[in-house]
Amino acid sequence: MELLVKTEGDFCTVSVQDPRIDAAVAVAFKEAVRAQTQDAPPRVILDLTKVTFIDSSGLGAIVATMKHLAPERRLLLAGLTPPVKKVFELTRMDSVFQIFLTLEDALDAERA
Amino acid sequence: MPSVHDNEQPKNAPDATSNPSEFSIEVISSTTATREALLQVIAGLAPIGLDPEDSETVELVLAEVLNNIVEHAYPEVGTVGAIHIRCRHLADGLHFRIRDFGNRMPDDKAPLGEMRSYDVDVEDLPEGGFGWFLIRDLAKDVHYSRIAGGNQLDLRIAVDYG
């Protein structure tokens, strides 16, 4: 699972480079994000701009990541493509996460 | 009925059948079986020209069904289990029949897929249980039967043929 991680002040951005977060990679995703956010600042933005498919395993892996980061750090989501957004909406997980339309929106909010 | 093919490596295109509104594929259970099967189903549906949203729905529902088979029907590592998918394209949507020859569903019933409340502390949020919820939410006429040592799941996805 390839991730691009950038730290800036109080937050870091984790950009997923794979197009799918599904059952085949859910465990690898969780482990990679965990490893990359070990010393992360209080807020972690998960950038999903490149992800075009997520299934229930991928959704579960993102929830697990949020739980792992809590309570010291918060996981924010950005750049959900339509099929990914749909899974969050159907499961109402969009009510659990703070979601930004684009990574830029998330960065603007964090820098403000 | 189209015939089910040999046990060689799954191909990337579904078998041609005499009936253009129907196709069947087969994959062998593995961690990559779902991805292989989805590629073949998407190829099989290409002539219909589904709009992207319907195509995404088909992909998501089948991904959930297939992941469940790989994880629960054939959980033993090294089990070589076949998964058959038949798709019929009828006026009221795409009718899928998914069959495997592994473990039966608990109580011989397909799960209801009820969602738990999210009104809990972060550490108590559910990390699973979304799969059957999504299947039941997106598919219609979901019917499971245990037949002759195998599992058979029928479902319909109402798609817009435009």
Q: Which of B24, B30, B60 is nearest to B43 (CA)?
A: B24
Residue B117 and residue B108 in contact, taking contact as beta carbons nearer than 8 Å: no
What integer pLDDT is reported at residue B14 of this predicted model?
53
- Chain B residue numbers touching A93 (CB-CB < 8 A): 118
CA B29, chain centre distance (Å): 12
Of B56, B63, B115, the CB nearest to A91: B115
What integer pLDDT is reported at residue B19 of this predicted model?
66
Say whether residue B119 is in contact with chain A using an 8 A CB cutoff.
no
Chain A residue with CA closest to B36: the answer is: A24
B78 φψ region: left (φ > 0), alpha (ψ -120 to 50), beta (else) = left
Say whether residue B70 is in contact with chain A using an 8 A CB cutoff.
yes
Task: For residue A61, give how far its alpha carbon lies from the nearest alpha carbon of chain B (Å).
Answer: 7
Q: Is the pTM of this model over 0.95?
A: no
> Which of A44, A51, A56 to mutate to test binding with chain B, by most B CBs within 10 Å of its CB?
A56
For chain B, residues with pLDDT lower than 50 are 1-11, 13
What integer pLDDT is reported at residue A111 of this predicted model?
87
Of B60, B67, B137, the CB nearest to A23: B67
For chain A, residues with pLDDT lower than 50 are none
Say whether residue A57 is in contact with chain B using an 8 A CB cutoff.
yes
- Chain A residue numbers touching B131 (CB-CB < 8 A): 55-57
DSSP state of B69: I
- Chain A residue numbers touching B61 (CB-CB < 8 A): none
- Chain B residue numbers touching A80 (CB-CB < 8 A): none
What integer pLDDT is reported at residue B110 of this predicted model?
95
The token pair that represents B39 in the structure block: 């590629």
What integer pLDDT is reported at residue B134 of this predicted model?
98
With 0-12 / 13-18 / 19 or more C-beta atoms within 10 angstroms meaning exposed / middle / buried, residue A47 is buried
Of A60, A83, A95, the CB nearest to B128: A60
